[in-house]
Chains A and B, each alone.
Chain A
Amino acid sequence: GENVEQHPSTLSVQEGDSAVIKCTYSDSASNYFPWYKQELGKRPQLIIDIRSNVGEKKDQRIAVTLNKTAKHFSLHITETQPEDSAVYFCAASIRDYQLIWGAGTKLIIKP
């Protein structure tokens, strides 16, 4: 069946350094790839998304890249700050309306 693999499961970086989280998907028909951030005890919230007709998208300190041939996409966070600490989920669309989610990456920003 369709699945999304996400790595690493935990990522610890020094404040100010960059963080990269990677996901691979299995359904070649997937065309929408969102990233959600979930702080402890809070609901998931969209931080950035990319569609299959674009290879890269940037919004201030965060960026997402997509390689459709290889079926993988990545989240890049530069100049990390303490408030970036959270669990990050990638997802890929299937059947137009449904998202398949990765297992999440716990990002820890060390002061």
Chain B
Amino acid sequence: GAGVSQSPRYKVTKRGQDVALRCDPISGHVSLYWYRQALGQGPEFLTYFNYEAQQDKSGLPNDRFSAERPEGSISTLTIQRTEQRDSAMYRCASSQPTGLAGVSYEQYFGPGTRLTVT
């Protein structure tokens, strides 16, 4: 079946503009994650959704970053008033429900959106 998809794949924007990054998870995956990944580094957690509920947003760097998943499927990460330091690869991942307490499941990553703020 189809994997996780993200759009756009590349986004160049001017400092101060708002951007919206989209993630379409694997069908049936109720858990959705947003990460930021710097070149050569591991994914940095931003936020987590269980169905439409944003259950953890502790990784969002500041209040310019927000995310939503209104119908429990597609999610949008929005960055307002972009700054050069926001330039990075933004990835989303989806997984099966985490199920019983303490059980984690494989996360399937999307191809990422490469954001460049000029």
Partner of A44, one of B31, B55, B101, B109: B109
Q: Mark B31-69, 1 if CB is under 8 A from A, else 0.
A: 100000000111111001010000110000000000000
Check B91 against A96 for contact (C-beta < 8 Å).
Answer: no
Is A34's CB under 8 angstroms from B106's CB? yes
Contacts of B55 in A (CB 8 A): 97
Assess whether A101 is interfacial by the CB under 8 Å rule.
Answer: yes
Q: Which residues of B contact A32 (CB under 8 A)?
A: 102-104
CA distance A105 to B50 in the complex (A): 31
Given contacts A97-B31, A97-B56, A98-B48, contact A49 B106 (CB under 8 A): yes
Least Cβ–Cβ distance between A62 and chain B, in angstroms? 15
Tell me the number of A-to-B contacts counted with CB atoms below 8 Å: 60
A103 touching B42 in the complex, CB below 8 Å, given contacts A43-B111, A97-B31, A98-B48 = yes
Note all chain B residues with C-beta closer than 8 A to A29: 102
- Measured in the bound complex, the distance between the Cα atoms of B68 and A11 in whole Å is 40
The minimal Cβ–Cβ distance linking B31 to chain A, given in whole angstroms, is 6
Partner of B109, one of A43, A98, A103, A104: A43
The residues of B with any CB-CB pair to A shorter than 8 Å are: 31, 40-45, 48, 50, 55-56, 91, 98, 101-104, 106-107, 109-112
Q: Which residues of A contact B (CB under 8 A)?
A: 6, 29, 31-32, 34, 43-46, 49, 51, 87, 89, 91, 93, 95-104, 106
Besides A96-B103, A101-B43, 18 other A-B contacts (C-beta < 8 A): A29-B102, A32-B103, A43-B91, A46-B107, A49-B106, A89-B43, A93-B102, A96-B101, A96-B104, A97-B50, A97-B55, A97-B98, A97-B104, A98-B45, A99-B43, A101-B42, A103-B41, A104-B42
